[in-house]
Structure 1
Amino acid sequence: MNRITLGIVAFFGLAFFLYWQAQIKRSEMDAVKVRGIERPDFVADNLRTTEFNKLGLIASRVSAEHMEHYASSDITHFTKPVYLIYPENGQAQWQLSADRGQLNKNTSQVILENNVIIDAINIEEPLQSLSTQAVSVDLTTMIGTSQEMVYIKGKGFIIQGLGLHADLNSQKLSLLSQVEGTYEPH
């Protein structure tokens, strides 16, 4: 073999090797892409937002360490969200916080999970704090529900029970079962 033939064979050999490497990389990347997993349309860190109702009054305020919004489903995921809920009268009455949260704009449903704490804004409220592992709040009706164990602290009492139905507009709540309480007079 002369040098020219050897050079042509080496050139095509190198080209084939590089093409082969590119195909391996492409199939590895295709294997990493899982069908059905969508990427967020936008993300934010240290989010602070205020939403207004049709009358121009504040409907809610949200802050979170991290947020990812998916436009195709209109769902937003939050890390360490803190919601200030403004019921019908326009005054913030409840602060909701959790490790994780999800807002579905189509259904106006907020789902909070892991270390959920609902605190009264007004220190004069009889019910001061509620904690559970998961709660769902419909922002249209201001109805909150949970199927988890719920712990309530108030002025002079502690109550726990399984399941919750709360109307944040009328400030009425019901524990659904296994209710136990302790009253501590002042």
Structure 2
Amino acid sequence: MSRVSLGIIAFFGLAFILYWQAQIKRSEMDAVQIRGIERPDFVADNLRTTEFNQLGFVESRVSAEHMEHYASSDITHFTKPIYLIFPENGKAQWQLSADRGQLNKNTSKVTLENNVIIDAIDIEEPLQSLSTQAITVDLTTMIGTSQEMVYIKGKGFIIQGLGLHADLNSQKLSLLSQVEGTYEPH
């Protein structure tokens, strides 16, 4: 055989091997998708959104570094979310932030995890800041609950306790157990 014939055979042999490898990779990727790895329906970076209620009043404002929405479960995952919550009277009173968050539209619940901080917007508010590792807020009732340690700072006091039940509409909260506090008069 001549060099040209050997070159042609080598060329087609190499092309066949590369084609074969590509088909194997495609089969592996299809198998991974079939096993149930769900891909988000849409993704956003540097998200900023405002949601309105049926009367046209602002219900919530959300910003996040990254967001992934899954339509099949109607769940949205957030990285570094910041929520502004607008209770019944329509004025923003609370800013919630965390490292991670999840919104379940079916249940209207937001779950925030890791370095959760709830700050009062109004500097005259007696309760100024609340921090914990996890909290769930029902956006319909504006009830927040946590089973984690909760640390509260206010004007002249610091309180900590295990577990939380908070009504953001009526601005009432209860620490569930192991409550300790310090009061510092002005």
TM-score normalised to structure 1 length? 0.90
Q: Distance in 2 between matches of 1:128 and 1:115?
A: 16
Q: Distance in 2 between matches of 1:34 and 1:117?
A: 39
TM superposition shift of 1:38: 1.0
Q: Distance in 2 between matches of 1:29 and 1:102?
A: 28
> How do residues 47-86 of structure 1 correspond to structure 2 at under 5 angstroms?
47-86=47-86
Aligned equivalents of 2:2 and 2:56: distance in 1?
85
> Aligned residues: percent identity?
90
More displaced stretch, 28-37 vs 103-112: 28-37
Q: Residue type matched to 2:82 in 1?
A: V
Amino acid in the other structure paired with 2:58: I
Query: TM-score, with normalisation over the residues of structure 2?
Result: 0.90
In structure 1, what is the equivalent of residue 95 of structure 2? 95
Question: Cα deviation per residue 1:74-97 (whole Å; 9 max; x = unaligned)?
Answer: 111111111010111111110000
Alpha-carbon distance in structure 2 between the residues aligned to 1:12 and 1:45: 45
Q: Which moved more, 1:69-78 or 1:140-149?
A: 69-78
What's the CA shift string for 1:41-97, capped at 9, x where partnerless? Answer: 111111111111111111011111111111111111111111010111111110000
Aligned length: 186
Cα distance in 1, alignment partners of residues 28 and 19 from structure 2: 14
SS in 1 for 2:29: helix
Question: Which residue is equivalent to 1:108?
Answer: 108
* 2:138 counterpart letter in structure 1: D
Shift of residue 167, structure 1, vs aligned partner: 0.4
Deviations 1:89-132 (A, max 9, x none): 11111000001111111110000000000000111111000000
- Name the counterpart of 1:155: 155
Q: Does 1:121 align with 2:121?
A: yes
